[in-house]
């Protein structure tokens, strides 16, 4: 997994009143499919958060298999387009009816673009619904955020594989094995926000290594899941 750092040079300043004043113009990485693939930095108007939306200044973006697929000729994505799905950044502005987030807070999120454009989060600012963001203030103190963004997408892919490819029923049990709780915080949030699956969740946290099947079978509560 690779990382693309989106770094702005003139993104805003602090006014005398202490409010963050943002530039009305932002830059985006635009890709043009073809042989060879072409890319350029394009300036456009900065978005403004609507009802339930949050404006985030992007600090890092994960380059995933989806982006690679979009850049290949096998993809039917309209060209040109802005790559990027998973990102980390800082909350710059809040729309109405937004709860649980504050200005300047570090967040991790998913951005899929809007119906009017073919684009992702490789841009200086993105507007997303607040339910697509996860506050990571405590995590950011201990981890390098670009590295965290690069490692979370495979975990999301694994969750989607379980819920879609295996086609879990609405009330079927799901067991997740992870080294630490912080490694699956985002997945747990998405499970709680989703409405397609309502089954019991069993979370097994390991400090050193993943347990073997024999070790799991010795646990009465987990044995039926195996």
Whether 135 and 73 map to the same domain: the answer is: yes
Whether 54 and 109 map to the same domain: the answer is: yes
Q: What is the structure's pLDDT at 116? A: 47
Q: How many independent structural domains does the chain possess?
A: 2
Domain containing 131: what range?
2-142
User: What is the rounded distance in angstroms from the CA atom of residue 180 to the CA atom of residue 130?
Assistant: 25
Q: Look at residue 149 and tell me if it is in a domain.
A: no
Cβ atoms < 10 Å from Cβ of 45: 8
The pLDDT tens digits for 64-82 are 777 777 776 555 566 788 8
Q: Look at residue 157 and tell me if it is in a domain.
A: no
Q: What is the structure's pLDDT at 57? A: 93
Whether 195 and 124 map to the same domain: the answer is: no
Q: Look at residue 10 and tell me if it is in a domain.
A: yes
Cβ atoms < 10 Å from Cβ of 185: 18
Split at pLDDT 50, 70, 90, the class of 3 is very low
CATH number, position 56:
3.90.180.10
**Which residue(s) pair with 112 in the sheet?**
none
pTM of this prediction? Answer: 0.58
Has residue 90 got a pLDDT over 80? yes
Whether 71 and 121 map to the same domain: the answer is: yes
The first and second tokens of residue 55, run together, are 């404006």
Q: CA angle 181-198-106, nearest 5°?
A: 40
Q: Look at residue 51 and tell me if it is in a domain.
A: yes
Q: Look at residue 91 and tell me if it is in a domain.
A: yes
Whether 201 and 111 map to the same domain: the answer is: no
Whether 126 and 34 map to the same domain: the answer is: yes
């Amino acid at each position: 997994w690779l990382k693309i750092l989106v770094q702005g040079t003139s993104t805003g300043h602090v006014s005398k009143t202490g409010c963050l004043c943002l530039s009305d113009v932002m830059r985006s990485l635009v890709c043009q499919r073809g042989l060879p693939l072409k890319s350029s930095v394009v300036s456009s108007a900065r978005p403004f958060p609507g009802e339930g939306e949050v404006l985030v200044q992007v600090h890092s973006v994960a380059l995933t298999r989806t982006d690679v697929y979009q850049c290949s000729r096998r993809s039917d994505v309209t060209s040109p387009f802005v790559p990027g799905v998973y990102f980390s950044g800082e909350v710059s502005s809040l729309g109405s009816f937004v709860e649980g987030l504050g200005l300047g807070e570090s967040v991790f999120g998913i951005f899929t673009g809007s119906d009017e454009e073919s684009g992702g989060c490789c841009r200086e600012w993105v507007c997303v619904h607040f339910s697509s963001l996860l506050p990571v203030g405590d995590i950011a103190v201990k981890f390098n955020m670009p590295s965290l963004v690069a490692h979370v997408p495979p975990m999301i892919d694994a969750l989607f594989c379980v819920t879609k490819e295996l086609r879990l029923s609405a009330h079927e049990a799901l067991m997740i094995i992870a080294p630490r709780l912080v490694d699956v915080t985002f997945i747990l949030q998405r499970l709680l926000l989703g409405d397609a699956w309502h089954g019991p969740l069993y979370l097994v946290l390991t400090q050193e290594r993943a347990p073997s099947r024999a070790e799991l079978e010795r646990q009465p509560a987990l044995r039926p899941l195996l």
